[in-house]
């Protein structure tokens, strides 16, 4: 049975991708609905002697949209790693690392959340939280037939709420994830 991927028709879950790979586009599909959860940042390192936790890593962004694809082709999916945790130290804790970039075929891209700040050497003074990631969608292509701009991504939406939370003090952020529907 062919999958009807016309916008507005019922859709089904096709795949969840949590490591970089190529996605085999189903035969006769010309669009897929892609939902991406961006990678989150790692938490900042704590200062044990001063009871000062590092700040939480920034949340990964959430973005989704209908993406134009070619039936039977392969689409590259890159999954960003969760940001690494900051290192705890009494004299020089480090910030958490930013989450990696997650993208579906270059059409929808999410930059991961930033790492949390390290704890302070002042008593009970936590580090600041990392900022949330960002997202973008390619809304037109001019190289496809027929001549003129053709929508690559339509109904593009993004938000920071409902995103994957950043790592707590001294913990690693979560990797990105891509859900595909058609």
Sequential pLDDT tens for the chain (182 residues): 344 445 555 678 999 999 999 999 998 888 888 989 999 999 999 999 988 899 899 888 888 888 888 889 999 999 999 999 999 999 889 999 999 999 999 888 888 989 999 998 888 888 888 888 887 776 554 444 444 444 566 666 776 666 677 778 889 999 999 999 98
Question: What pLDDT does 155 receive?
Answer: 61
Is 118 within 8 Å of 132 (Cβ atoms)? no
The pLDDT score that the predictor gives to residue 5 is 46
Specify the pLDDT at position 68. 86
Length of the chain: 182
> CA–CA separation, 132 vs 72, rounded Å?
35
pLDDT at residue 94, rounded to an integer? 93
Both structure tokens of 164: 């994957």
Task: Write the DSSP string, 57-92.
Answer: PPPPPEEEEEEE--TT-EEEEE-PPPPPPPPP-SS-
Q: What is the pLDDT of residue 69?
A: 87
pTM score, whole prediction: 0.83
DSSP state of 14: E
* CA-based nearest residue to 103, from 58, 47, 63, 148: 63
Residue 123: predicted pLDDT: 80
- 44: CB partners within 8 A, 6+ apart: 53, 54, 55, 56, 57, 86, 93, 94, 95, 96, 115, 116, 117, 118, 119, 127, 130, 169, 170
Domain ranges of the chain: 1-182
Q: Tell me what pLDDT residue 177 has.
A: 93
Which residue has 């694809």 as its token pair? 69
């Amino acid at each position: 049975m062919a999958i009807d991927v016309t916008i507005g028709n019922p859709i089904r879950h096709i795949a969840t991708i949590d490591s970089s790979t190529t996605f085999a586009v189903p035969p006769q599909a010309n669009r897929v609905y892609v939902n991406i959860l961006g990678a989150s940042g790692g938490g900042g390192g704590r200062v044990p002697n001063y009871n000062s936790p590092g700040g939480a890593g920034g949340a990964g962004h959430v973005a989704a949209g209908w993406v134009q694809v070619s039936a039977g082709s392969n689409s590259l999916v890159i999954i960003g790693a969760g940001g690494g945790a900051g290192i705890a130290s009494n004299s020089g804790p480090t910030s958490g690392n930013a989450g990696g970039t997650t993208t579906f075929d270059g059409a929808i891209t999410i930059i991961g959340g930033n790492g949390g700040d390290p704890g302070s050497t002042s008593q009970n003074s936590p580090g600041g939280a990392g900022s949330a990631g960002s997202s973008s969608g390619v809304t037109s292509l001019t190289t496809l037939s027929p001549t003129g701009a053709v929508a690559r991504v339509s109904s593009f939406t993004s938000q920071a709420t409902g995103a994957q939370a950043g790592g707590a003090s001294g913990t690693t952020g979560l990797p990105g994830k891509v859900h595909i529907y058609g």
